[in-house]
Amino acid sequence: MACTCVVGLQWGDEAKGKIVDLLTDQHDIVVRFNGGANAGHTVVQGGKTFKFSLLPTGVLKPHLRSVIANGVVVYPPRFLEEVNDLRATGVAVGDNLLLSDHAHVIFPYHLEEERLSEQGSGQAIGTTGRGIGPCYQDKVGRISGVRLGELLHPEHLRTRLRAIVPRKNQLLRALAPDARTFDPDVLCDEYLSHAERMRGHVTDTTRLLLQAHRNNKRILFEAAQGSLLDVDHGTYPYVTSSNSTPAGVWSGSGLPARHINRVVGVIKAYTTRVGRGPFPTELNDGKDGIGERIRQTGREYGTVTGRPRRCGWFDTVAVRYSAAVSGADELAVMLLDVLSVAKEIAICTGYQWRDRRLEAFPSDAFILEECRPVFETVPGWESDLTHCKRLSDLPAAARRYVDRLSQLLELPVSIISVGPDREQTILC
# of chain residues touching ligand IMP (CB under 6 A): 21
Distances (CA, A) of 205 to 30, 147, 201, 252: 12, 13, 10, 11
Residue closest to ligand IMP when measured from CB atoms: 275
Note whether 128 binds ligand IMP by CB under 6 A: yes
Q: Is 48 helix (H, G, I), strand (E, B) or coil?
A: strand
Nearer to ligand IMP, 188 or 338 (CB): 338
Rule CB under 6 A: which of 93-122 touch ligand IMP? none
Nearer to ligand IMP, 229 or 346 (CB): 229
Alpha carbon distance 145, 173 (integer Å): 20
Note whether 34 binds ligand IMP by CB under 6 A: no
- Answer for the pair 75, 106: CB distance below 8 angstroms, yes or no: yes
- Answer for the pair 280, 272: CB distance below 8 angstroms, yes or no: no
**Phi (first) and psi of residue 177, to 5 degrees:** -60, -30
Note whether 6 binds ligand IMP by CB under 6 A: no
Q: Tell which phi-psi region holds residue 193, choosing left (phi > 0), alpha (psi between -120 and 50) or beta.
A: alpha
Q: Is 36 helix (H, G, I), strand (E, B) or coil?
A: coil
Identify whether 13 is a catalytic site residue.
yes
Stretch that binds ligand IMP, among 8-16, 71-79, 261-269, 370-378 (CB under 6 A): 8-16
**Minimum distance of ligand IMP from residue 233's CB (angstroms):** 14
Alpha carbon distance 178, 176 (integer Å): 5
Identify whether 85 is a catalytic site residue.
no
- Answer for the pair 27, 64: CB distance below 8 angstroms, yes or no: yes
Stretch that binds ligand IMP, among 35-43, 62-70, 90-98, 389-397 (CB under 6 A): 35-43
13, 28, 315, 337: the active-site residue? 13
Note whether 12 binds ligand IMP by CB under 6 A: yes
Stretch that binds ligand IMP, among 127-135, 262-270, 347-355, 396-404 (CB under 6 A): 127-135
Note whether 368 binds ligand IMP by CB under 6 A: no
Nearer to ligand IMP, 99 or 132 (CB): 132
Give the residue among 120, 117, 154 at the shortest CA–CA distance from 137. 117
Nearer to ligand IMP, 12 or 58 (CB): 12
Chain centroid to CA 388: 28
Alpha helices in 276-327 (DSSP H): 290-297, 316-326
Please identify which residue in 62, 108, 126, 327 interacts with ligand IMP, judged by CB under 6 A.
126
Nearer to ligand IMP, 128 or 281 (CB): 128
21, 27, 28, 41: the active-site residue? 41
Rule CB under 6 A: which of 237-296 touch ligand IMP? 238, 240-241, 274-275
Stretch that binds ligand IMP, among 123-131, 318-326, 347-355, 385-393 (CB under 6 A): 123-131
Q: State how beta strands 356-358 and 310-312 pair.
A: unpaired
Q: Is 256 helix (H, G, I), strand (E, B) or coil?
A: coil
Please identify which residue in 23, 195, 229, 336 interacts with ligand IMP, judged by CB under 6 A.
229
Q: State how beta strands 356-358 and 344-353 pair.
A: antiparallel
- Answer for the pair 274, 11: CB distance below 8 angstroms, yes or no: yes
**154 preceded by a cis bond (ω within 30 of 0):** no
Active site residues: 13, 41
Which residues sit at the interface with ligand IMP, rule CB under 6 A?
Answer: 11-13, 38-40, 125-128, 130, 132-133, 224-225, 229, 238, 240-241, 274-275
